[in-house]
Amino acid sequence: MRRRNSRPGRRLGRKKEEVEAWKAVHRDFPGQTAACERATEALRRHGEGAQARPDPATELDTKLKSKVIDVDFQEAPLSDVIDFISQFSGFTIVVDPECAEAMSTPQTLVARKLPVGQVLRLALAGPELALVNMRGVAVITTRTREKELPAWTAFTVDPLRRQEDLDLLERLEGIRISLNFTDTPASEAFQFVIAVSEVPMSVDENCEGALVTLRVDDLTLREALECLALVGDLKYKVAGGGLHVAPRE
């Protein structure tokens, strides 16, 4: 007696279950079925044609390794060396206020055809500073803060996580901005950000005395605000669909 193969039966069983499920959808949600099918097809096409946005941290690591540079500095302040490398390489380098005093350290540095990341680390070796990749932004900081900064964020979100707050966070990722402040009161800096981005913000009166020095080019608004918070010792709370700026405690 020939033994029957049970697999076709199982396939037919699954097919029957799928048909019954679709019948239930048509019966219970007659006006939504076509819309769901169109949305599914659109998502499928979008997934096939869309390119994933490069990870900012990976992108910065690639630039640090692939861009090569020649430098020749004789007793130049470290700040001048950093500014030159930033302008040549085309990416933002933010200096943590914790190591501001070291920026005046004289540097004698000669290098030929070396990767930018290696040149930066050579320049930072003398004053014992560190180069940190903070989610795609190059930050110069102290050795004691080296492990803290990669995961550091100035943002906290209302625990209720209302949709308006989530929408605001998404909006911050979609706006790109450049900033150039030198000893600028924090209140004026945020007035500029508000005027350019039209993102609702409230600034705590205790931020009035803070001065910020920062130059960033073509970052997302969230990345730029993280840098602004770092140099100004500030923090943000996302609530009520807006940003609330206050001094970091």
Domain 153-247 has CATH 3.55.50.30: yes
pLDDT tens, residue order, the chain (249 aa): 444 444 444 334 444 554 454 455 445 444 444 444 443 443 344 444 444 557 888 989 999 999 999 999 999 999 999 999 988 888 889 999 889 899 999 999 999 999 999 999 999 999 999 999 988 889 999 999 888 888 888 999 988 788 999 999 999 999 999 898 988 998 889 989 988 888 999 999 888 778 898 888 888 999 999 999 999 999 999 999 999 999 987
Q: What is the domain partition of the chain in residue ranges? A: 56-150, 153-247
**217 closest CA partner among 180, 169, 181:** 180
Task: Kindly give the pairing relationship between strand 93-95 and strand 137-142.
Answer: parallel
Helices (H), 29-77: 33-49, 56-66
The whole-model pTM stands at 0.68
Looking at the DSSP assignment, which residues form a beta bridge with residue 219?
A: 177
> CB-based burial of residue 245 (10 Å sphere; 0-12 exposed, 13-18 middle, 19+ buried)?
buried
Domain 56-150 has CATH 3.20.20.10: no
Most distant CA pair in the chain, distance: 95
Which residue type does 85 have?
Answer: I
